[in-house]
Amino acid sequence: MRALVIEDEAHLRKTIVATLREEGFAADHCEDGEEGLYKALNWDYDVILLDVMLPKMSGWQVLEAIRAEKETPILMLTARDGIQDRVRGLNQGADDYLPKPFDLLEMVARARAIARRSFGRGNPVLTLNNIEVNTASRTITKDGELIELTAREYAIVELFALKKDEVVTREYLYEHLFDENEDSLSNMLDVYIYKLRQKFGKNFITTLRGQGYVVRSNTSA
């Protein structure tokens, strides 16, 4: 899952990004509305955390401009918590609204929830044959047994679970697993896939040559 944080308060932005990364998101950030809009339109984020009071372009304008082109889930963060502000935000197409000061873990939970819903999943526990992905505790069990995974490995499995039976391209994986600062060498992904096959069985991930990968729900791992 990749998130974009558009927040002008440097300390807050830093903390939010750090928290998101610790919680398994790949996170990009920017400090003004214009840059935020540029990034939001040019990358495919799973969730955008958008402040309202921004330099150059207000959060409302950014929201409107994003909604004109994209359906990316947006969580508005703002110190204005009047009912009118919330209603306005939701009416303009925000997916959720979090008034400042907020609880970091609540912010993460909301960001995760709206991202998950954008995949059409309401249940925080994703099932993939005999595998269960708990997006809340970020743990994966296979036949009821906990599988030890790194954060990145978990993120990959979570993506496959969200997009089960769909072809997932390597580009899609790169875009949703790594943030803009990470050096995403192509063989890194191969390494992860290899390790996941070791942990979940050879047939867990099917390679479609020239297209990408697919995790089929009917194949028993």
Would you say 16 or 115 has its CB closer to another protein? 16
Would you say 86 or 176 has its CB closer to another protein? 86
Answer yes or no whether residue 53 interacts with another protein by CB under 8 A: yes
Binding part of the chain for another protein, among 56-64, 109-117, 145-153, 199-207 by CB under 8 A, reads 56-64
- Residues numbered 137-156 forming contacts with another protein, rule: CB under 8 A: none
Longest Cα–Cα distance of the chain, Å, equals 54
Contact status, residue 109 vs residue 135, Cβ threshold 8 Å: no
- The DSSP symbol for 55 reads S
Residues 169, 107, 135, 36, Cα dihedral to 10°: 0
Would you say 22 or 64 has its CB closer to another protein? 22
* The binder of another protein chosen from 12, 41, 147, 214 (CB under 8 A): 12
Q: Which residues pair with 208 in a beta bridge?
A: 212
CB of 27 to another protein, least distance (A): 13
* The binder of another protein chosen from 87, 90, 105, 167 (CB under 8 A): 105
In 3D, which of 44, 3, 37 has the Cα closest to residue 20? Answer: 3
> What are the structure tokens assigned to 187, written together?
């063989």
Answer yes or no whether residue 21 interacts with another protein by CB under 8 A: no
Separation CA 131–CA 145 (nearest Å): 9
* The binder of another protein chosen from 80, 121, 142, 170 (CB under 8 A): 80
Residues contacting residue 129 through CB under 8 Å, at least 6 positions apart: 217, 218, 219, 220, 221
Binding part of the chain for another protein, among 8-16, 66-74, 159-167, 170-178 by CB under 8 A, reads 8-16
